[in-house]
Amino acid sequence: MPTQKELLACRLCPRLVDHREKIAENPRKSFSEWDYWGKPVPLFGDLAARIVFVGLAPAAHGANRTGRMFTGDRSGDFLFAALYRTGFANQPESTSRTDGLTLTDVAITAPVRCAPPANKPTKKEIDNCSPYLSADLKRLKKKKVFLCLGKIAHDSLLRYYNSLGFEFPLSRFPFAHGGHHTLPEGLQHLDSYHVSQQNTFTGRLTPAMFDSVLINARRLAETT
């Protein structure tokens, strides 16, 4: 099982390494005083969590800058505000690794740990990163519910279970907002649209819709 030290040193995907480091060397003017993280981004949250969020990948000027999942971008603004409203976070904002944010009963991981150009990782890059996702899922011993943000997260989680010898054909278990599947050992798999601006700014995913998914995740964690 890969260690966090191995994750932070990973250079398996030349395109992603080049992109994350170029962004770090040439920050946005508004972040010119930041020392960008510019490395793969590790798991964040409560290691005793019953609810595990599976995202997509770090944003170029979000987690690639701050070094923490969903921290410092509009997606994180939406996500952490919702976690605060529903009692999973101690504050509604996340701006840096040292801002005091703590999560309760929630951990956040992703199938890709380096910022991809245009937020679109290739299948090879997802495959290269899969051991790190697997390692996170194995570390989280008390998990009961997965909440997948978007189709890549959904597919990556099912591929993880298929790699363990189970059968979850993607054609039979399609992604759908509000979707719910039962996994081995009674684990529960929920889906939501990703919390990206593309969804939240257009009204495809509203705060009320996302809160409803979070409340369902808590209910399942308490009853599974």
- 73-119 pLDDT tens trace: 999 999 999 999 999 999 999 999 999 999 999 999 999 999 999 99
Percent of the chain having pLDDT more than 70? 100
Task: Determine, yes or no, domain membership for 78.
Answer: yes
Task: Determine, yes or no, domain membership for 17.
Answer: yes
Residue 1 is predicted with a pLDDT of: 85
pLDDT for 149-205, tens place per residue?
A: 999 999 999 999 999 888 888 888 999 999 999 998 899 999 999 999 999 999 999
Task: Determine, yes or no, domain membership for 34.
Answer: no
Tokens of 179: 């979707």
Task: Determine, yes or no, domain membership for 172.
Answer: yes
Task: Determine, yes or no, domain membership for 62.
Answer: yes
Task: Determine, yes or no, domain membership for 64.
Answer: yes
DSSP state of 29: G
pLDDT for 20-69, tens place per residue?
A: 999 999 999 999 999 999 999 999 999 999 999 999 999 999 999 999 99
Distance between first and last Cα of the chain: 27
- What is the layout of strands, in order, in the sheet containing 145-149? 44-45, 106-109, 51-54, 145-149, 188-192, 180-182
Identify the domain containing residue 57 by its residue range: 4-29+40-223
Task: Determine, yes or no, domain membership for 35.
Answer: no
Q: How far is residue 90's CA from residue 214's CA, in Å, rounded to a whole number?
A: 16
Residue 144's CATH number? 3.40.470.10
For the question of whether the overall pTM of this predicted structure is more than 0.75, the answer is yes
Tally of structural domains, the chain = 1
Enclosing H/E stretch for 136: helix 123-139
